[in-house]
């Protein structure tokens, strides 16, 4: 065989390699700008509105082309001046749709509104007019005229109904009486009874303890409600023991009912020990306390040593003769 082989080993592969290299050397097409080359044009214009009232909501809209132009810019003007948008005035521009919404119309919103569309090739405008009827600050006419006759009939003078005879009530009668109460010091006490006639407006209820009027205070609470009579005593003391009387009085007479309170008082001073082991346990506690107190007692201090009266061992010279700047 020859030293140099001129034929390819794989003829099919050689063709595929040529196709691949041809694709790699292919010149790509130049970038084509798809931006619309057109000046703005309003396909639908703003619509004028009149006979608007204060407080209404207005929505202005228009359509502009080319809608896909990224350089298209929208501006709003009011009477030739740039319109400032905010919470009450909002403008939008979305794919060719231009809108302006005005909430809660006011009298000063009456004006000529202009929408201006601008791009690199030109501009276009659309104009409309808004007219708002000004309301007077003081409304002299009624909002609901049909309600006036009904209000006059309701507020007008009416003949008084004939007054019937006043009811006559009998003498007070206790249909249930006070109960006797026994308690310990510190507990709450409750007395209750029922009296008739329960609807008598002249009925008066009084409380007495041991024949004397019940003193007023935060511990005593009396109740009378349509024949129901009660007395509550908070945190009773032994001094509260006695006979309690409830007296009911009206224009015809009076009635009374009584109940006793027996409050057992606690000792003021407890002399007995509360230790579980009684007196023996108390003595052990006392021994421990005495031992601890003995350790904490301060030892008697040693008296300070006595020293004689101070004397001069080297007396000071009465005079010194020195030159200027010499040390002393």
For residues 119 and 161, give the distance between their C-alpha atoms in angstroms, rounded to a whole number: 84
pLDDT for 149-195, tens place per residue? 899 888 888 888 777 788 888 999 999 999 999 999 989 999 999 99
46: exposed, middle or buried (Cβ count in 10 Å: 0-12, 13-18, 19+): buried
pLDDT of 281: 73
Between 138-152, 279-293, 294-308, the lowest mean confidence (pLDDT) is in: 294-308
pLDDT of 126: 95
Average pLDDT over residues 187-216: 92
pLDDT of 28: 65
Task: For residue 24, give the 3-state DSSP assignment.
Answer: helix
Sheet holding 81-82: strands in order across? Answer: 49-53, 122-133, 111-119, 73-78, 81-82
For residues 124 and 64, give the distance between their C-alpha atoms in angstroms, rounded to a whole number: 9
pLDDT of 310: 86
pLDDT of 311: 86
The answer to whether the CB of 250 falls within 8 A of the CB of 204 is: yes
- The whole-model pTM stands at 0.38
Average pLDDT over residues 16-32: 74
pLDDT for 91-128, tens place per residue? 999 989 999 999 999 888 999 999 999 999 999 999 99
pLDDT of 301: 64
62: exposed, middle or buried (Cβ count in 10 Å: 0-12, 13-18, 19+): buried
Domains of the chain, with CATH numbers? 41-133 (2.60.40.10), 173-264 (2.60.40.10)
pLDDT of 1: 60
pLDDT of 307: 82
Q: What are φ and ψ of residue 224, in 5° steps? A: -140, 115
């Amino acid at each position: 065989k020859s030293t140099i082989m001129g034929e390819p080993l794989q003829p099919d592969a050689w063709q595929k390699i040529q196709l691949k290299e041809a694709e790699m050397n292919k010149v790509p097409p130049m970038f084509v700008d798809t931006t619309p080359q057109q000046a703005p044009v309003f396909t639908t214009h703003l619509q004028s509105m009149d006979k608007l009232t204060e407080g209404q909501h207005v929505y202005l809209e228009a359509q502009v082309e080319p809608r896909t132009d990224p350089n298209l810019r929208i501006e709003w003007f009011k009477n030739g001046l740039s319109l400032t948008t905010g919470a009450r005035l909002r403008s939008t521009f979305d794919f060719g749709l231009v809108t302006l919404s005005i909430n809660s119309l006011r009298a000063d919103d009456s004006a000529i509104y202009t929408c201006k569309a601008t791009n690199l090739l030109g501009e276009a405008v659309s104009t409309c007019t808004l007219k708002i009827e000004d309301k007077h600050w003081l409304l002299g006419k009624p909002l609901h005229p049909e309600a006036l006759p009904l209000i006059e009939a309701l507020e007008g003078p009416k003949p008084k109904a004939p007054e019937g005879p006043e009811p006559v009530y009998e003498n007070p009668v206790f249909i249930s009486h006070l109960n006797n109460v026994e308690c310990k010091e510190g507990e709450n006490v409750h007395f209750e009874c029922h009296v008739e006639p329960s609807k008598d407006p002249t009925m008066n209820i009084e409380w007495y303890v041991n024949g004397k009027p019940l003193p007023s205070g935060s511990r005593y609470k009396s109740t009378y409600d349509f024949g129901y009579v009660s007395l509550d005593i908070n945190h009773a003391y032994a001094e509260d023991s006695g006979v309690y009387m409830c007296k009911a009085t009206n224009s015809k007479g009076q009635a009374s009912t009584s109940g006793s309170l027996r409050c057992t008082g606690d000792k003021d001073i407890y002399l007995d020990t509360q230790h579980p082991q009684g007196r023996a346990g108390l003595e052990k506690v006392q021994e421990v306390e005495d031992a601890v107190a003995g350790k904490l007692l301060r030892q008697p201090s040693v008296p300070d040593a006595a020293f004689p009266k101070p004397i001069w061992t080297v007396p000071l010279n009465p005079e010194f003769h020195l030159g200027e700047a010499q040390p002393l």
